[in-house]
Amino acid sequence: MFHQLDRLLRLCCVRLSLGSLSVQASVLSGLAAAGLAMTVNAGALAPSNHDGSHRRDTTQLVSRALLANVASDGPYQLTPERRALLNTIRYAEGTWKDGTDQGYQVMYGGGKFHDLSRHPETVVIKRYASAAAGAYQFLPATWKGVAKELDLETFEPKHQDQAALHLVQRRGALKEIDRSGLTKTAMARLAPEWASFPNISGRSAYGQPVKTHQELARFYSENLQSLRRQNRPA
């Protein structure tokens, strides 16, 4: 799939317009090799107003999976290494959705929610019972704790990104990833946070289905290479 997308997106140029705002976004060869995708539904993921309508967010014209080395709305800088990690967590947790921002609206079991002003706190019973939601499948209690620590007022994508990096930092894996990438040691440190990540022996910390070290390392590496090419100075 990656190679087919790469051929389709090679050196293509997408022009996105919204009212008087026009953004020129070049999709460089290799972005699709990591499954990255553009989204043209600007504002679709803005937090809902109390009446259920969506506020328009004209700043989000491309998928967040492509955003690195940009100003972050929080304490954690979004370097290519950290964006590749976030994308890999989404891949492992089943919210990658080909890199589109729809992954930020996924509940456990694959259903979607629409109000990004808050965590949905909806228990879903599939193989297990869980209220996990968002790109990084935050449990309600986890989200409330991190949101309080970081003063996050909504569940919108930029806040989910910051919260996920905060969890990585708390698990002692952020410096390891910044320095050496997604190593087996880093995966093992994240295994108690995300059940889809393998511990040092390759198993889930919770006895659930888990990705292999090799699969996650490969996805991370391909994603990081694409992000670095994208953010290379002209």
pLDDT tens profile 197-213:
999 999 999 988 999 99
Checking if the pLDDT of 26 tops 80, the result is no
Find the mean pLDDT for residues 205-226.
96
Distance of CA 129 to the CA centre of its chain: 23
Q: Are 45 and 135 in contact (CB under 8 A)?
A: no
Secondary structure letter of residue 138 according to DSSP: B
93 counts as catalytic: yes
What fold, for 63-230? Lysozyme (1.10.530)
Out of 81, 93, 176, 193, the active site residue is 93
Residue 62: the pLDDT is 64
Non-local (6+) Cβ contacts of 4 within 8 A are none
d(CA 33, CA 63): 15
Q: Are 124 and 229 in contact (CB under 8 A)?
A: no
pLDDT tens profile 56-90:
343 344 689 999 987 778 999 999 999 999 999 99
Q: Are 81 and 181 in contact (CB under 8 A)?
A: yes
Share of residues in the chain with pLDDT > 90 (%): 66
